[in-house]
A and B are shown apart, each in its own frame.
Chain A
Amino acid sequence: MTTLHVNGKAYQVEFPPHETLGHVLNKRLGFTGVRISCEEGECGSCTVLMDGAPAASCMVLAMQAEGKEILTIEGLHSNGDLHPIQQAFIEEHGFQCGFCTPGFILSAKVLLDENPHPQPKEIAEALNGHICRCGSYPKIIRSVQRAAEMMEEGRDG
Chain B
Amino acid sequence: LSIVHGGWEIIMSRSFEYLRPISPAEACELKAKYKGEAAFWAGGTDLLLEWKRGAKELDRCIDLTFLSDLRFIREEDEHTTIGALTPIAAIETYSQFHQGLSVLKEVTKQFATPQIRTIATLGGNLCHAVPSADFAVALIALDAEVKLMSLEGERIVPLEAFFKEAKQTALKEDELLVEITIPHPPRHSECAFQRVTRTSVDIALVNAAVRLMVDEKDCVLEARVALGAVAPISFRSNAAEELLLGKGLDEINEELSDQVGKRAAEETRPISDVRTTAAYRKHVSRVLVQRALVDAMGMLKGVGS
User: Interface of A with B (CB < 8 Å)?
Assistant: 13-14, 16-20, 23, 27-28, 30, 39-42, 44, 47, 50, 53-56, 59-61, 63-64, 107, 110, 126, 128-129
Contact = CB atoms under 8 A, between A and B. Distances in A.
B114 A59 contact: no
Interface string B29-69: 00000000000010111001101100000000101010000
A107 B114 contact: yes
Given A17-B18, A41-B116, A129-B113, A30 B52 contact: no
A63 B1 CA distance: 18
A44 B17 CA distance: 28
B3 interface: yes
Contacts of A30: 3
Contacts of B201: 42, 128-129
Contacts of A61: 18, 41, 44, 48, 61, 63
A41 B5 CA distance: 21
Interface stretch (B7-15, B150-158, B178-186): B7-15
Instruction: Name, among B1, B41, B115, the residue most crowded by chain A CB atoms within 10 Å (CB to CB).
Output: B115
Nearest to A52: B118
B119 interface: yes
Contacts of B16: 17-18
A14 B65 CA distance: 19
B15 A17 contact: yes
Contact of A63 (B18, B114, B200): B18
Contact of A19 (B12, B113, B114): B12
A40 B15 contact: no
B61 A17 contact: yes
Contacts of B65: 63-64
Contacts, number: 96
Contacts of B5: 27
Interface in B125-176: none
B3 A44 contact: no
B89 interface: yes
Interface of B: 1-5, 8, 12, 14-18, 20, 41, 43-45, 48-49, 51-52, 61, 63, 65, 89, 112-116, 118-119, 200-201
Given A41-B45, A128-B201, A56 B119 contact: yes
B30 to A, nearest CB: 15
30 contacts: A13-B1, A17-B16, A17-B18, A18-B14, A18-B15, A18-B61, A27-B2, A28-B4, A41-B116, A44-B115, A55-B115, A55-B119, A56-B115, A56-B119, A59-B44, A59-B116, A60-B45, A60-B48, A60-B119, A61-B44, A61-B61, A63-B18, A63-B20, A63-B65, A107-B114, A126-B114, A128-B200, A128-B201, A129-B112, A129-B115
Contacts of A28: 1-4
Instruction: Name, among B1, B44, B119, the residue most crowded by chain A CB atoms within 10 Å (CB to CB).
Output: B119
Given A27-B3, A54-B114, A59 B48 contact: yes
Given A56-B116, A129-B114, 14 more contacts: A16-B12, A16-B15, A17-B16, A18-B14, A19-B12, A20-B48, A27-B2, A41-B112, A53-B89, A53-B114, A55-B115, A59-B48, A64-B44, A129-B112
Contact of B118 (A16, A27, A50): A50
Nearest to B18: A17
B11 to A, nearest CB: 9
B38 to A, nearest CB: 13
A110 B18 CA distance: 32
A64 B8 CA distance: 20
Contact of A53 (B2, B3, B17, B118): B118
Nearest to B64: A64
B117 to A, nearest CB: 9
Nearest to A13: B1
A107 B118 CA distance: 12
Nearest to B49: A40
A110 B15 contact: no
B116 A39 contact: no
A40 B115 CA distance: 12
B63 A56 contact: no
